[in-house]
Amino acid sequence: MAYYLYVSRQDDDKISIFQMDAASGRLDLQNEMAVAGGPAAMAVDPQRRFLYVGCRSIREISSYRIDQSSGGLSYAGTAPLEGEPVFLATDRKGKFVLSAYYYQAKVAVHPIGEDGVATAPPVEWLTTDSGAHAIQTDPSNRFVFVPHIANRGPNAIFQFRFDETSGHLTPSSPPQISPEDYLGPRHFCFHPRLDILYFSDEQGCSVTAYRLDTSNGTLTSFQTVSTLPDDYRETNSCSQIQITPSGKFLYAPNRGHNSIASFAVDEESGRLTATGRVSTEPVPRAFSLDPQGRFVFAAGLESGRLASYRVNADTGVLEELENFTVGNKPMWVLGIELPG
* 140-165 per-position pLDDT tens digit: 999 999 999 999 999 999 999 999 99
* 15-42 per-position pLDDT tens digit: 999 999 999 999 999 999 999 999 999 9
* 179-197 per-position pLDDT tens digit: 999 999 999 999 999 999 9
Measure the CA–CA gap between 204 and 268, rounded to whole angstroms.
26
Measure the CA–CA gap between 274 and 263, rounded to whole angstroms.
4
pLDDT value for 240: 98
Measure the CA–CA gap between 89 and 21, rounded to whole angstroms.
26
pLDDT value for 163: 98
Q: If you average pLDDT over residues 334-340, what whole number do you get? A: 94
Measure the CA–CA gap between 133 and 131, rounded to whole angstroms.
6
Q: Give the rounded percent of residues in the chain with a pLDDT score beyond 90.
A: 99
* 243-276 per-position pLDDT tens digit: 999 999 999 999 999 999 999 999 999 999 999 9
Question: Would you state the torsion angle of the CA atoms of residues 316, 321, 327, 332, taken in this order, to the nearest 10 degrees?
Answer: -10
Contact status, residue 252 vs residue 240, Cβ threshold 8 Å: yes
pLDDT value for 324: 93
Omega before 85 cis (within 30°)? no
Res 81 pLDDT > 90: yes
In sequence order, what are the beta bridge partners of 18?
Answer: 5, 29
Res 70 pLDDT > 80: yes
Measure the CA–CA gap between 9 and 111, rounded to whole angstroms.
26
Res 57 pLDDT > 90: yes
Measure the CA–CA gap between 78 and 286, rounded to whole angstroms.
24
Res 340 pLDDT > 90: no
pTM of the model: 0.97
* 279-290 per-position pLDDT tens digit: 999 999 999 999
Residue-range domains of the chain with CATH:
2-338 (2.130.10.10)
Contact status, residue 168 vs residue 199, Cβ threshold 8 Å: no
Q: If you average pLDDT over residues 110-117, what whole number do you get? A: 98
Residue 126 φ/ψ, nearest 5 degrees:
-110, 130
